[in-house]
């Protein structure tokens, strides 16, 4: 009877030791999972533009809500970022001497957007799309929309959009060539972010991916199939390098887990040996 | 008696296991504390010839230690270790006498690094140096 | 072997080593019904020793400068061979120390070991608990990440509720109006130079008290005749016919230490990120408060208590009252009965208190 209760007590002891330690530590685990990694988008004070226009009807009020859903709103680029003017003063909000530009004429649209996106402007102007500017060719708004500008993605190249002007065939080939690279970039980005959140120094990898992504994005405005294919191949080799670097980290971490498993098993073995030795003295 | 044998066996097992555990714990610690190789590599260094006027010396770090580049009045260029071979102080350039003196115990070296007086047992170590197209390459 | 024996003889002739061994180890008798819970003190001493050791190793590369601290920790974690292992051992070890300390105190509570004549053991142990919380709090700031920066801001801010001196106290703790480089300097000094020495000294006092009073007999299945403690003269509590500390109980200590190491290493290798949110890997930014900043798990109950009371002063006073009550428990609970089942009021209060603490912690975690 006494021996049984002693055994029971010993197992109770081990169980509580383990359970309490783990239970106590388990809290922050879920905290880490629940808390989004990025803080909320920077809140901008409401400008006078929004104050007036959100109350205006139709054409004058609609852009406010469209803008709110845009990537520009997400990144804190407000009306005056594109249209100019003084966002703090209602009297000067639309004063041309304060840099107010109003809405651009169709032919001026690429230059209008290109003030902040100079690289894209250059790529666009060099492409078949850009060369057709003012001769019925597409402007930025044709594909990206105006106020509700979304984060650029390959989805913008789609049959419905492209067939407004020409057949989808060539666009489809270009899109297919870029699809794999896009998936590659998204996958590597996710792995880098994952590592960053658990303390791996991903500074160099992040910068590498940023450069590759930028290079890839210049292709979006090129409509030359051969060039897109050639560039995509080069970008893929760059990405393969990043992929290899990530694999090295992943392998190192897998090795740590194996070493950890051995260490834990070894300590349990030691515990068993000491316990057996103790029993010889009971 | 049966207990004695078991005790001895378990004791030997535990002693072995403890040795393994200590070694397994010591290895990472030694690796952690080991000096970082490659952090102070013996890379080549390049100076412009205009960096050093005639008769002057320029001190710099080379392969993790103090070194000096000297251009004598006759235009000879030499790169030397600046660590005195006596007890490891850093030698100073005496422009007026065109030689090196060690401030610790008065060791004297010529501009080429040869011992000219005092306690140093050996000349200053020479570092390979080459001059081409207005550039001095050390290493 | 023969050589070892000659060395031992040589030492024995000079300092009487055999006499000490006989008195303190083989002849140091413990109650026959002693149980595993009595080994947690030894486990805690090993944890503390390991914290000191890993802390010393971290100090080799850590730079206590607001500009460089985060970078140096990242360097230790990523570039140095096995730097991650040493850092994780230190970070996980600090959490384990608090967890095992709580278990140690719970076993003391349940077995009534804090009662007369061991009031001083309890008080010194409680002091150690507070000191360990202090060393954890000061160490938490040192990586200078968003998590450590803002957790320290919140923690130091709670002193504001103290009347009159509160605001000055906060400024004094921080070394400035806000947490900043001066805070890092003082927290570093307290963490590496002040508290370790104080903790080691109080551990010494705790052990001294234990040895002078003699170890308590567990209240379960006691085989010893109960001799009530008479407070008129000092007497060491002997356990005649008990089991020797060495080798018998020392082997129990070692077993518990090995089991502890197995659990500890499992966390270090498999679950280290339980302790870190992604904010722990973003350098501190005094102009950007991240969402969801929470203190460490063992402060969650305190944090939630502060939040649920309408006035911070009230919340703080209640915490202070609870802490004082616990610290002075042996002077309040004076009955000699030590078996938990024969102390229904105590048991109900203890279980209620533990559930309240867990409840507040969970609430604090999800609020």
* β B99-101/B108-110 pair status: antiparallel
Q: Is B131 found in the same domain as B86?
A: yes
Touching check for C59 and chain A: CB below 8 Å?
no
Query: Which residues of chain C lie closer than 8 angstroms to A2, CB-CB?
Result: 221
Q: Is the Cβ pair B29, C86 closer than 8 Å?
A: yes
- Closest-CA distance of chain A to residue B21, Å: 8
User: What pLDDT does residue A39 have?
Assistant: 35
Q: What is the pLDDT of residue A22?
A: 52
Find the CATH number of the domain harbouring C292. 1.20.810.10
Range with the lowest mean pLDDT among A61-65, A91-95, C173-177? A91-95
C341 lies in a domain? yes
Average pLDDT over residues B11-36: 95
* Distance (Å) from the alpha carbon of C249 to chain B's nearest alpha carbon: 16
A234-245 pLDDT, tens digit each: 999 999 999 999
> If you measure CA to CA, which chain C residue comes closest to B18?
C258
Full domain range(s) for residue B2: 1-34
Summarize pLDDT for B48-60 with one digit per residue, the tens: 888 888 889 999 9
Question: Mean pLDDT throughout B51-72?
Answer: 89
Q: Which residues of B touch C4 (CB under 8 A)?
A: none
Note whether C57 contacts B32, CB cutoff 8 Å.
yes
Give me the residues of C, 306-335, that contact A with CB < 8 A.
none
Give A249→chain B minimum CA distance, Å: 19
Whether residue B122 is found in the same domain as residue B77: yes
Q: Pick from B6, B18, B20: which is nearest to A280 by CB?
A: B6
Question: What pTM does this model have?
Answer: 0.82
Facing C281 at nearest CB: one of A18, A20, A199: A199
What pLDDT is attached to residue B1?
A: 58
- Judge if B53 and B106 occupy the same domain: yes
B40 in any annotated domain: no
Show which residues on chain C lie within 8 Å of chain B, measured between beta carbons.
57, 60, 80-83, 85-86
CB nearest to A28's CB, from C255, C263, C297: C297
The predicted-structure confidence for A150-168, as pLDDT tens digits, reads as follows 777 888 888 888 898 888 8
**Stretch B74-93: mean pLDDT:** 92
Are the C-beta atoms of C151 and A31 separated by less than 8 Å?
no
Indicate whether B44 pLDDT > 60. yes
Q: At residue A80, does pLDDT exceed 80?
A: yes
Torsion sign across C-alpha atoms A8, A9, A12, A14: negative
pLDDT at A204: 92
Per-residue pLDDT band at A276 (split at 50, 70, 90): very high
Over 70: is that where the pLDDT of A106 sits?
yes
8 Å CB contact between C141 and C187: yes
Task: Count structural domains, chain A.
Answer: 1
B19 and B70 in one domain? no
- Classify residue A246 as exposed, middle or buried by CB count within 10 Å of its CB (0-12, 13-18, 19+): buried
Residues contacting A265, CB < 8 A, separation 6+:
none
pLDDT above 80 for A183: yes
CATH number for position B107: 2.102.10.10
**Number of structural domains in chain B:** 2
Q: How far is B113 from chain C (nearest CA, A)?
A: 37
**Which band of pLDDT confidence, cut at 50, 70 and 90, is reported for residue A96?**
confident
List all residues of chain C from 253 to 292 with a beta carbon under 8 Å from chain A.
254-256, 258-263, 265-271, 273-281, 288-292
Together in a domain, B28 and B63 = no
If we measure between CA atoms, which residue out of C18, C41, C45, C15 comes closest to residue C30? C41
Is A271 at the interface with chain B, CB within 8 A? no
- Could you tell me if residue C213 is inside a domain? yes
Q: Which residues of C137-175 are buried (b: 16+ CB within 10 A; e: fewer)?
A: bbbbbbbbbbbbbbbbbbbbbbbebbeeebeeebeebbb
Closest residue in A to C103 (Cα–Cα): A17
Confidence of residue A37 (pLDDT cuts 50, 70, 90): very low
Same domain, B25 and B59: no
Report yes or no: A270 at the B interface, CB cutoff 8 Å. yes
Give B-chain residues touching C85 at CB under 8 angstroms.
28
pLDDT at A115 over 70: yes
> Is B1 domain-assigned?
yes
Q: How many CB pairs under 8 A join A and B?
A: 26
In a domain, A214, yes or no: yes
Reference C360, options C292, C293, C298; nearest CA is C298
A46 vs C113, residue with greater confidence: C113
What gap in Å lies between CA A92 and CA A123, rounded to an integer?
Answer: 35
Instruction: For residue A266, list chain B residues with Cβ-Cβ distance below 8 A.
Output: 17, 20-21, 24
The answer to whether residue B130 sits within a structural domain is yes
Q: Are residues B10 and B53 in the same domain?
A: no
Q: Note every long-range contact of B66-72, with CB atoms under 8 Å and residues 24 or more positions apart, other chains counting.
A: B66/B90, B67/B127, B67/B138, B68/B93, B68/B100, B69/B129, B69/B136, B69/B138, B70/B111, B72/B98, B72/B111
Query: Subunits with at least 3 CB pairs below 8 A relative to chain C?
Result: A, B
Q: What are chain B's partners, defined as 3 or more CB pairs within 8 angstroms?
A: A, C
**In terms of domains, do B28 and B50 share one?**
no
- C78 → chain B, closest CA residue: B32
Residue A10: per-residue pLDDT? 57
Using a CB–CB cutoff of 8 Å, tell me whether A19 touches chain B.
no
What pLDDT does residue A36 have? Answer: 35
**Residue A235 falls inside a structural domain:** yes
Q: Write the residue in A14, A26, A261 that is nearest to C274 by C-beta.
A: A26
Report yes or no: B34 at the C interface, CB cutoff 8 Å. Answer: yes
Work out the mean pLDDT of chain A and round it to a whole number.
81
Mean pLDDT of all residues in A206-231: 84
Contacts of B20 (CB under 8 A, 6+ apart): A266
- Residue C280 vs residues A32, C16, C51, C184: alpha-carbon distances, Å: 10, 53, 20, 16
For each of chain C's 367 residues, which pLDDT tens digit applies?
A: 789 999 999 999 999 999 999 999 999 999 999 999 999 999 999 999 999 999 999 999 999 999 999 999 999 999 999 999 999 999 999 999 999 999 999 999 999 999 989 999 999 999 999 999 999 999 999 999 999 999 999 999 988 888 899 999 999 999 999 999 999 999 999 999 999 999 999 999 999 999 999 999 999 876 555 666 777 889 898 898 899 999 999 999 999 999 999 999 999 999 998 889 899 999 999 998 898 888 899 999 999 998 899 888 999 999 999 999 999 999 999 888 888 999 999 999 999 999 999 999 999 999 8
pLDDT for the residue numbered A29? 39
Could you report the predicted ipTM of this complex, rounded to two decimals?
0.92
Say if the Cβ atoms of A13 and C258 lie within 8 Å. Answer: no
Total structural domains in chain C? 1
pLDDT score at C229: 75
* Predicted pLDDT at B42: 61
What local confidence, expressed as pLDDT, does residue B25 receive? Answer: 96
Residue B39 domain flag: no
Range of the domain at A190: 166-252
Predicted confidence (pLDDT) at residue A30 exceeds the cutoff of 60: no
Residue A227: which pLDDT band, with cuts at 50, 70 and 90? confident
B58 and B29 in a common domain:
no
Tell if the CB–CB gap between B28 and C81 is shorter than 8 Å.
Answer: yes
d(Cα C305, Cα C314) in Å, to the nearest integer? 9
Residues B68 and B88 in one domain: yes
Contact A280 B10 (CB under 8 A): yes
Rounded CA-CA distance C44/C125 in Å is: 12
């Amino acid at each position: 009877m006494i021996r049984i209760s002693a055994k029971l007590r010993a197992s109770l002891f081990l169980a509580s030791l383990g359970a309490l330690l783990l239970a106590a530590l388990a809290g922050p685990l879920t905290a880490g999972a629940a808390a989004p990694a990025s803080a909320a988008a920077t809140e901008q004070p409401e400008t006078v533009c929004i104050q007036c226009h959100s109350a205006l009807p139709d054409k004058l009020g609609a852009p406010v809500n469209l803008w709110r859903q845009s990537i520009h709103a997400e990144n804190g680029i407000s009306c005056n970022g594109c249209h100019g003017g003084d966002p703090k003063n209602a009297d000067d909000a639309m004063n041309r001497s304060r840099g107010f530009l109003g809405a651009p004429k169709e032919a001026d649209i690429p230059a209008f957007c290109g003030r902040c996106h100079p690289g894209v402007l250059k790529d666009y102007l060099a492409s078949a799309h850009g060369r057709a500017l003012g001769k019925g060719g597409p402007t930025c708004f044709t594909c990206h929309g105006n106020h509700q500008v979304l984060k650029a993605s390959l989805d913008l190249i789609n049959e419905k959009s492209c067939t407004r002007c020409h057949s989808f065939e060539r666009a489809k080939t270009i899109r297919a060539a870029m699809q794999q690279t896009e998936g590659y970039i998204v996958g590597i980005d996710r792995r880098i972010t994952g590592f960053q959140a658990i303390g791996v120094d991903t500074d160099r990898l992040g910068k590498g991916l940023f450069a590759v992504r930028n290079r890839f994005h210049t292709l979006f405005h090129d409509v030359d199939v051969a060039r897109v294919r050639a560039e995509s191949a080069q970008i893929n080799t760059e990405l393969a390098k990043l992929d290899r670097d990530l694999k090295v980290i992943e392998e190192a971490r897998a090795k740590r887990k194996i070493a950890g498993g051995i260490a834990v098993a070894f300590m349990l073995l030691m515990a068993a040996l000491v316990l057996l030795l103790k029993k010889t003295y009971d | 008696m049966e207990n004695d044998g078991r005790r001895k066996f378990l004791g030997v097992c535990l002693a072995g296991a403890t040795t393994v555990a200590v070694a397994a714990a010591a290895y990472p610690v030694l690796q952690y504390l080991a000096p970082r190789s490659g952090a102070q590599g013996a890379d080549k260094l390049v100076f412009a010839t205009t960096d050093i006027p005639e008769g002057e010396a320029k001190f710099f770090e080379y392969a993790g230690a103090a070194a000096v580049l000297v251009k004598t009045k006759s235009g000879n260029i030499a790169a030397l270790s600046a660590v005195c071979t006596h007890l490891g102080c850093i030698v100073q350039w005496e422009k007026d006498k065109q030689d090196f003196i060690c401030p610790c115990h008065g060791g004297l070296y010529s501009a080429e690094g040869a011992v000219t007086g005092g306690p140093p047992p050996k000349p200053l170590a020479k570092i390979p140096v080459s001059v081409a197209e207005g550039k001095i390459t050390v290493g | 072997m023969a050589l070892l024996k000659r060395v031992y003889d040589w030492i024995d002739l000079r300092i009487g080593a055999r006499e000490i061994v006989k008195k303190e180890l083989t002849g140091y008798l413990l109650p026959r019904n002693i149980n595993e819970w009595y080994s947690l003190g030894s486990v805690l001493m090993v944890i503390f020793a390991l914290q000191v050791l890993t802390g010393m190793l971290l100090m080799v590369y850590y730079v206590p400068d607001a500009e460089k601290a985060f970078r140096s920790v990242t360097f230790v974690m990523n570039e140095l061979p096995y730097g991650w292992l040493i850092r994780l051992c230190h970070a996980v070890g600090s959490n384990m120390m608090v967890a095992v300390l709580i278990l140690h105190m719970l076993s003391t509570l349940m077995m009534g070991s804090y009662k007369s004549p061991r009031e001083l053991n309890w008080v010194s142990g409680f002091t150690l608990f507070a000191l360990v919380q202090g060393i954890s709090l000061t160490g938490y700031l040192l990586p200078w990440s968003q998590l450590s920066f803002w957790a320290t801001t919140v923690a130091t801010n709670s002193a504001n509720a103290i009347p009159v001196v509160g605001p000055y106290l906060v400024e004094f703790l921080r070394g400035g109006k806000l947490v900043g480089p001066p805070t890092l300097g003082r927290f570093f000094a307290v963490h590496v130079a002040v508290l370790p020495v104080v903790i080691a000294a109080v551990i010494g006092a705790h052990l001294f008290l234990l040895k002078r009073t003699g170890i308590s007999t567990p209240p379960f299945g006691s085989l010893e005749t109960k001799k009530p403690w008479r407070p008129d003269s000092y007497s060491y509590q002997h356990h005649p016919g008990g089991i020797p500390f060495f080798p018998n109980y020392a082997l129990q200590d070692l077993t518990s230490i090995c089991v502890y190491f197995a659990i500890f290493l499992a966390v270090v290798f498999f679950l280290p990120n339980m302790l870190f949110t992604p904010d722990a890997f973003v350098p501190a930014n005094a102009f950007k408060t991240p969402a969801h900043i929470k203190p460490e798990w063992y402060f969650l109950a305190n944090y939630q208590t502060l939040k649920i009371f309408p006035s911070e002063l009230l919340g703080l006073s209640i915490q202070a009252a609870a802490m004082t009550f616990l610290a002075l428990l042996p002077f309040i609970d004076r009955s000699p009965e030590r078996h938990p089942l024969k102390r229904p009021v105590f048991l109900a209060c203890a279980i209620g208190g533990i559930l309240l603490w867990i409840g507040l912690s969970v609430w604090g975690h999800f609020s």
